[in-house]
Amino acid sequence: MATIEQFYALKYAEDYFKFFGIDYDQVLVSNKRLHILREYSKLVRTGLENLKDQEERLLDFLKFALLRVYGDFKGGYAPRAADVWDMFKDGKPKGCLACSLQGGNCDC
């Protein structure tokens, strides 16, 4: 059975899909990676705040959240130009899921 500690160790978008056993389109994930992870990280924070003491429910929520975000992008969602610009302030991507989980201390 998957654990929240294993979830925290994940870093790449593909790792999250594999962790939850979700089939995904590699081309879509490659092209929308930062956007998917950015939107997913918002939902992850919500889950961590509200279900932190209920690991099984939290993992179910995290899987559902990934399905939802992926479904939005698969259905044609495109972020606003301002959202894209904010992700690349100072020429570096900002806001990856690993950074969110580690308090901004990852090496993305």
Output the average pLDDT for the chain. Answer: 79
Examine residue 27 and state whether it is found in any structural domain, yes or no: yes
Split into its structural domains, the chain has a count of 1
Quick one: pLDDT band at residue 59, thresholds 50, 70, 90? Answer: very high
89: left (phi over 0), alpha (psi -120 to 50) or beta: beta
* 55 within some domain: yes
Q: pLDDT (tens digit, 9 = 90+) per residue, 11-41?
A: 999 999 999 999 999 999 998 898 899 889 9
The pLDDT assigned to 82 comes to 42
Is 31 a domain residue? yes
Range of the domain at 61: 11-101
Cβ–Cβ < 8 Å for 87, 95: yes
